[in-house]
Amino acid sequence: MDNTQTICLLNDSFPPLIDGVANTVLNYASQIQHSGLQSMVVTPANPDADDQQFSYPVVRYPSIVTQKFEGYPAGVPFSPEVARNVTDRNIALLHTHCPVMSTFMARQLRQITNAPIVFTYHTKFDVDIEHIVKSKPIQLAAKKVLVSNISACDEVWAVSHGAGENLRSLGYEGDYIVMPNGVDMPCERATEEQIQTATNGYDLPLDVPVYLFVGRMMWYKGLRIIVDALARLKIENRDFRMVFIGDGDDREQIEAYSSDCGIRSKCIFTGAIRDREQLRGWYSRADLFLFPSSYDTNGLVVREAAACSLASVLIKDSCAAEGVTDNRNGFLIEENAESMAHCLTGMTKEIMLAAGNAASKELYISWETAVKAAMDRYQIVIARYHSGGYPRHRKPMEGVMKINGELMEALAKLSSLRHDR
């Protein structure tokens, strides 16, 4: 691949809005730059953005922040300004990480750049759609649009086999390649000093097992299973500390439920932790990572835990459990509180340490390794595209997109003028 070529990454979320997929795009962009190639990011506008901090260009297109989508910006996927920007760069490949607006934008840019599109499926969007939209007919229509958009890409990747099969369950009939994400933590435990700094001030007796959850505080992450299982341990007079790291719409309900179950005094709710070293300290202090989620498609937090030699308790056959062998590098349970409680009851310090050490050797993937594999595949996709190896796709409602894009840019400029007065 020519070093003057640019990989264009597209996603609906990007700092200051940060989530798992935004973190993925950040690491892709950085690793591509470090390799000697060029990267750029195309993402919806955000009034709080500070893009000067990045070593690669970030091109924003007009958007409206909607509470309906939990603060995510809804961008209009055609922007003459973005089109003008990409024509000044040698775009070799477009890599989109969101199946709706960002992929519409990628399809428009493919017409301008004659570059292939790779799409990565990160999230079980059927769950997200059902969470946001209550009407069954609208849910079906949304899934149809999503699948149609993905099918228009030249190559489709999934972050796990389970994620790919979830995409198939939505009606996608094409092929996909499993391309797992990496972890931006070194494969080593934090020092005792770092652990103390991260956990100082919390009630964590040395002789009491510490369980940890990291992620969005949403019921569909399996958090009811955790609380119910720990309530069973309390009835058996087993002491523990449960640390929940993260924020989300259901946090208040989860805290209230832990009180109702009589375990609130044994639970610590830290809120979201953005500092990666502080998070490493918590991973390194915990004895076991509890992640009974059948929603997550890749479970990056499981690999983050593994980086710190922390084993996980996972739902058998879930996406997050891919690569995990029960009682060797992790622990697999049925999707219920009784199974988790039984698993935790049988744990000893020695068993947890042995599984954690195995997890660090067998589950950890660095971002350098993950993106190197992706870049090797980029070369194959680019060569295949220009040799006619992919079908040509229709333009996505070009006239409508263009008019909407121009209107949004005009409104954005008008808003900016008013703000400056």
pLDDT in tens, 311-339: 999 999 999 999 999 999 999 999 999 99
pLDDT the model gives residue 190: 97
| pLDDT tier at 64, thresholds 50, 70, 90 | low
Structure tokens at 128: 């997200």
pLDDT the model gives residue 229: 98
| pLDDT tier at 420, thresholds 50, 70, 90 | very low
**Angstrom distance (rounded) from CA 325 to CA 210:** 22
Helix (H, G, I), strand (E, B) or coil at 209: coil
Indicate whether 16 and 128 sit together in one domain. Answer: yes
Residue 402 class from Cβ within 10 Å (0-12 exposed, 13-18 middle, 19+ buried)? middle
- Has residue 1 been placed in a domain? no
Domain holding 65: CATH number? 3.40.50.2000
If you ran DSSP here, which 8-state letter would residue 211 be given?
A: E
Residues with Cβ within 8 Å of residue 16, at least 6 apart in sequence: 46, 48, 49, 50
pLDDT digits (tens, 9 = 90+) for 339-373: 999 999 999 999 999 999 999 999 999 999 999 99
Q: Where among 342, 364, 386 does a domain terminate?
A: 364
Average pLDDT of 178-183?
95
Residue 252 class from Cβ within 10 Å (0-12 exposed, 13-18 middle, 19+ buried)? exposed
Residue 171 has pLDDT above 50, yes or no: yes
Q: Which residue has the higher pLDDT, 13 or 131?
A: 13
- Has residue 50 been placed in a domain? yes
- State the pTM of this model: 0.82
Q: Where among 316, 336, 364 does a domain terminate?
A: 364
Indicate whether 106 and 128 sit together in one domain. Answer: yes
pLDDT the model gives residue 88: 79
Q: Which residue has the higher pLDDT, 74 or 139?
A: 139
Which residue bears the tokens 């969007």?
A: 125
Indicate whether 400 and 348 sit together in one domain. Answer: no
Indicate whether 252 and 389 sit together in one domain. Answer: no
Name the residue among 267, 309, 271 with its Cα closest to residue 287.
309
Indicate whether 230 and 131 sit together in one domain. Answer: no
Q: How many domains does the chain have?
A: 2
Q: Which residue has the higher pLDDT, 286 or 145?
A: 286
Q: Where among 364, 383, 411 does a domain terminate?
A: 364
pLDDT the model gives residue 292: 97
pLDDT digits (tens, 9 = 90+) for 236-271: 999 999 999 999 999 999 999 999 999 999 999 999
DSSP string, 263-288: -GGGEEEEE----HHHHHHHHHH-SE
Indicate whether 49 and 165 sit together in one domain. Answer: yes
Indicate whether 228 and 316 sit together in one domain. Answer: yes
**Angstrom distance (rounded) from CA 354 to CA 360:** 10
Percent of the chain topping pLDDT 90: 69
Residue 196 has pLDDT above 60, yes or no: yes
Helix (H, G, I), strand (E, B) or coil at 4: coil
Indicate whether 34 and 174 sit together in one domain. Answer: yes
Residue 103, domain extent: 6-182+368-420
Structure tokens at 158: 């999934």
Number of H helices, E strands in the chain: 15, 15
| pLDDT tier at 142, thresholds 50, 70, 90 | confident
pLDDT the model gives residue 56: 96
Residue 104 has pLDDT above 50, yes or no: yes
Geometric angle at alpha carbon 69, from 63 and 74, rounded to 5°:
15
**Angstrom distance (rounded) from CA 178 to CA 163:** 9
Q: Which residue has the higher pLDDT, 196 or 3?
A: 196
**Angstrom distance (rounded) from CA 256 to CA 246:** 16
pLDDT the model gives residue 69: 43
Percent of the chain topping pLDDT 70: 89
- Has residue 300 been placed in a domain? yes
Name the residue among 212, 194, 193 with its Cα closest to residue 268.
212
CA atoms within 13 A on the CB side of 8: 31
Check if the beta carbon of residue 315 is closer than 8 Å to that of residue 296: no
Structure tokens at 286: 């915990």
Indicate whether 35 and 117 sit together in one domain. Answer: yes
**Angstrom distance (rounded) from CA 380 to CA 392:** 17
pLDDT the model gives residue 250: 95
Q: What value does the mean pLDDT of the chain take?
A: 88
Indicate whether 98 and 211 sit together in one domain. Answer: no
- Has residue 394 been placed in a domain? yes
Q: Which residue has the higher pLDDT, 46 or 201?
A: 201
**Angstrom distance (rounded) from CA 49 to CA 56:** 14
Indicate whether 357 and 373 sit together in one domain. Answer: no
- Has residue 135 been placed in a domain? yes
pLDDT the model gives residue 78: 64
Cβ atoms within 10 Å of 49's Cβ, excluding its own? 17
Indicate whether 122 and 94 sit together in one domain. Answer: yes
